[in-house]
Copies of this chain bind each other. A is one copy, B any other.
């Protein structure tokens, strides 16, 4: 009951690319709209009379906090808000404190200079602490910026630091509100959707690649190495930092669509790590198959005397068993992908996996491998070993997706 894995992944890739391009254009237009909205603070005289030159801060806010996804924008906006409030507050206190000591102009300057040095150094050190860097880096920068601007303004007795701080905060708030409204209500681009969809397509791509390699395993021809699906696997290996930042943005995003509050994004990172391991093993399978096909691919000694297509009967039996196992693994992966796509619980696949493990055991124990010749045994035994590892990892993935389904409240499938 496993639907065939589509082999139109190339076509799907193009579709995804154009979709991504559309989203880039939407984002660009949204930034343009937000900029025009905050520019109205300058362009409309009644508004300009209210805020004056401080309107600059609204424009600056829009340019620096408007990010691609709603979560990133919200996160940066909140960081900026908190950084401004804390930095402005502390800056005012430091400025008033320096004035109240009454050491005169020079003493005042020295105290302010010292506070600039201390707060600047400490805040910079904090920025490099991994936990803070991950979520609050921008907030600390804004804290430093606001603190410095406010505290040094305080050295001139005619400057009202509270008034400056309040007005800047207000205009920053205006910029923030414009950003959030445009980002959330005008064709919102959610980091959570992007992360979720990328996981679904990773499952399906891996299923695809496994299926392709299984076909190659038993094919009579010497296939060319299939570059596209390998590139998919290779690009998956470097997904960690993208995943982490998307998960980070997704955490900032409010309830929307299918994702509730406190949706377990951390689990995705765990599943992502397992997917990377599966991709690693599949790349190794690919290398193994390729080494067995290119007779002189490895200089120095001949790996297999003939291409695998023309193996003896006993070898074909082993390979066909491997192909059958691999196809079932591909099915399980596809089921997992579909389960995530539709956010329904996947039917207990543990049975199938147990069965697959037994089948591999049979391949090994039935002395089939013993019948192979020395040179061939290395290639085929390695294939069996890698397949074993794929099965094991897919078992972990099944558990991971099941746990995710439990925590995230995937609905049960109608059958169960």
Contacts and interface: CB of A to CB of B under 8 A. Distances in A.
A140 B117 CA distance: 30
A196 interface: no
B121 A32 contact: yes
Interface size classification for chain A: 35 or more
Contact of A39 (B148, B276, B377): B148
A218 to B, nearest CB: 20
A358 to B, nearest CB: 6
A152 interface: yes
A317 to B, nearest CB: 14
A110 to B, nearest CB: 9
A145 B374 contact: no
Counted per complex, copies of this chain come to: 2
B378 A374 contact: no
Interface in A367-384: 367, 369-370, 374-375, 377-379, 381-382, 384
Nearest to A375: B364
Contacts of A276: 237
A389 interface: yes
A10 interface: no
B375 A378 contact: no
Given A125-B25, A357-B299, A377-B377, A42 B152 contact: yes
Interface in A32-90: 32-33, 35-36, 39-40, 42-44, 48, 55-56, 59-60, 63-64, 66, 68
Contacts of A141: 63-64
Given A112-B39, A125-B24, A148-B63, A364 B369 contact: no
A226 interface: no
Interface string A286-302: 01100000000011110
Given A117-B33, A120-B31, A152-B42, A369 B361 contact: no
Give the 7 A-B residue pairs with the shortest CB-CB distance, closest first. Answer: A300-B357, A301-B361, A381-B381, A32-B121, A382-B385, A42-B152, A35-B120
Given A35-B117, A43-B112, 12 more contacts: A28-B124, A32-B121, A40-B113, A43-B113, A43-B152, A55-B152, A59-B145, A63-B148, A298-B392, A369-B374, A370-B377, A382-B385
